[in-house]
Structure 1
Amino acid sequence: MALDPDDPSIAQTIEALVGDLQPVVPLRLWRGMATGLGLTALAIGGVWLTFGLRPDVIALHPAPIVIARGAVLLAGSLALLVAALRAALPGRADQGATALGTLILGILPVGLMGLLLDGIVAGRRPSFAELTLFDTLRCWGIALATSLLVGTGLVLWMRRAAPTDLARAGWLTGWAAAGLGTFAYSLFCPSQTMAFVTTAYPAAMLLMATVIRFVTPRLLRW
């Protein structure tokens, strides 16, 4: 039986449905970036209040190693943050940002290979004395907390979007949050050697990215 479009009941039903509609604020990439950066700043503040920052960071004269590791973490993480946000928006390509972020963060494990190679050539073993159980677990614990803070905010933003590849979105979100969280930790980290940065940091980020990757799809799936 065909429906009569002039039937008053149908018109009333349509009006009722339309009346319940609310305007939706369109998602903007810059808002997602602001969310990620704001949460990173909040994570830094949390680390500062709870553990304190390095004296040279407080004095605004950070040691070269702090500048180097911070620059790598921040640059790589921001590129992956752009990739994660683009992956959540239909019609946005994220391959370029993904490749750039991966290339930058890849400097850390490559740096470990460089240390080992330098030791072989120079006939000496690199010192990993800073890799104590306490220091390593402290690194992982603080970085995990800050990464989860950033990751939670990003996932809440992405829930309003429409990511089609949940696994990819999860990995990108995980690595972006892990890098930004580790950057927040690095401003406290008392380590002075590349050996610690090229071992503990990549391991911490891998752990955090894996955790966030497997949690994110469940939170994004309606």
Structure 2
Amino acid sequence: MGTGRRRSRGFPSPGSPGAQTDVDRSDFIEALVADLQPVRPPMRWLGAVGIWSAASWLFVTTEIFAKGALREGVGLEILASPRFAFELAIGLATGFAAIAVGLEMGTPGAPWSLRRPHLPVALMIAWILVAGSDAFSSLVVTSAPMRTACFAETLLVSLPPWAFALHLLRRRALLQAGRAGFLTGAAAAAIPAFWMQLACVTQSHHNLTAHLSPILIVGLLGAFVASRVVPRG
């Protein structure tokens, strides 16, 4: 027999507190969906490396030549000194390896070769050893005059490329942000250090203290900042 009352069978009747809760939840979800912003995917690794390298080399090269030309006869020095040519080759390799590994290091799914800092660190050490092999002697490879404020120039010119690399790092989820920051900072300073080896005097002790030391300084700065501002994967 009917009782005159309609069974709800577990569904709230219109106007009941349960029905109002469902409406509020639906409105809340619709509001969240409406507020969603499209997520821009991070730049692909090869594209990031290419854009950073092109922009950074163009900027640093322009700044170096704007403040003075390369030293006279540097082309003949490269041809006459295999050691000097080898040093420059290591310097180039250091910069490219550091930015290539730094922009991919710690990214989930990255190839094994790009998850380890061994190659750029080994190249960096080799560059320091070759450039400073006569650090404690009075040997001067060239008689060219010392470029004015070469240490400050190397350090300051490396900051815009480092800032650009940091911007690229912030768009990537990394598991090792500090190490990636060190490598990208070192890569940024390696470019003016390379040019300074061609523009300034090449005394070994001077190479280490004025030209190559900014690589470590900007690298440590990059590690400190990246560990605090780069999102972790």
TM-score w.r.t. structure 2 length? 0.70
Show the 5 A alignment for 1:200-211.
200-211=210-221
Match of 1:43 among 45, 56, 60: 60
Q: Aligned residue for 2:186? A: 175
Amino acid of the structure 1 residue aligned with 2:37: L
User: Does the Cα contact within 8 Å between 1:77 and 1:179 map onto a contact in 2?
Assistant: yes
User: Does the Cα contact within 8 Å between 1:151 and 1:177 map onto a contact in 2?
Assistant: yes
Amino acid of the structure 1 residue aligned with 2:218: M
Q: How many corresponding residue pairs?
A: 207
User: Does the Cα contact within 8 Å between 1:79 and 1:100 map onto a contact in 2?
Assistant: yes
SS at match of 1:176: helix
Q: Aligned residue for 2:168? A: 157
By percentage of residues, which structure has more helix?
Answer: 1
CA distance, structure 1, for counterparts of residue 173 and residue 62 of structure 2: 31
Match of 2:124 among 105, 110, 125: 105
Amino acid of the structure 2 residue aligned with 1:44: T
Higher relative contact order, chain-length normalized (CA < 8 Å, sep 6+): 1
User: Does the Cα contact within 8 Å between 1:147 and 1:177 map onto a contact in 2?
Assistant: yes
Distance 1:217 1:185, change over 3 A: farther
Give how far 1:28 is off.
Answer: 0.6
CA distance, structure 1, for counterparts of residue 77 and residue 206 of structure 2: 15
CA distance, structure 1, for counterparts of residue 224 and residue 33 of structure 2: 38
Q: Aligned residue for 1:127? A: 139
Structure 1: tracts of 5 or more residues without a match = 120-124
SS at match of 1:35: helix
Encode CA deviations 1:104-131: one digit per residue, 9 max, x unaligned. Answer: 2222332266436xx9xxxxx442598x
CA distance, structure 1, for counterparts of residue 68 and residue 131 of structure 2: 27
Match of 2:156 among 130, 145, 149: 145
| Structure with the greater alpha carbon radius of gyration | 2
1:30 pairs with 2:46? yes
Give how far 1:152 is off.
Answer: 0.3
CA distance, structure 2, for counterparts of residue 35 and residue 193 of structure 1: 34
Distance 1:9 1:209, change over 3 A: same
Structure 2: tracts of 5 or more residues without a match = 1-17
CA distance, structure 2, for counterparts of residue 104 and residue 62 of structure 1: 25
Give how far 1:185 is off.
Answer: 3.6
User: Does the Cα contact within 8 Å between 1:88 and 1:158 map onto a contact in 2?
Assistant: no
Distance 1:186 1:11, change over 3 A: farther
TM-score w.r.t. structure 1 length? 0.73
Give how far 1:101 is off.
Answer: 1.6
SS at match of 2:40: coil
SS at match of 2:172: coil
Distance 1:90 1:98, change over 3 A: same
**More moved, 66-75 vs 22-31:** 66-75
**More moved, 36-45 vs 97-106:** 97-106
Q: Aligned residue for 1:75? A: 93
CA distance, structure 2, for counterparts of residue 36 and residue 184 of structure 1: 17
Q: Percent identity?
A: 21
Amino acid of the structure 1 residue aligned with 2:58: A
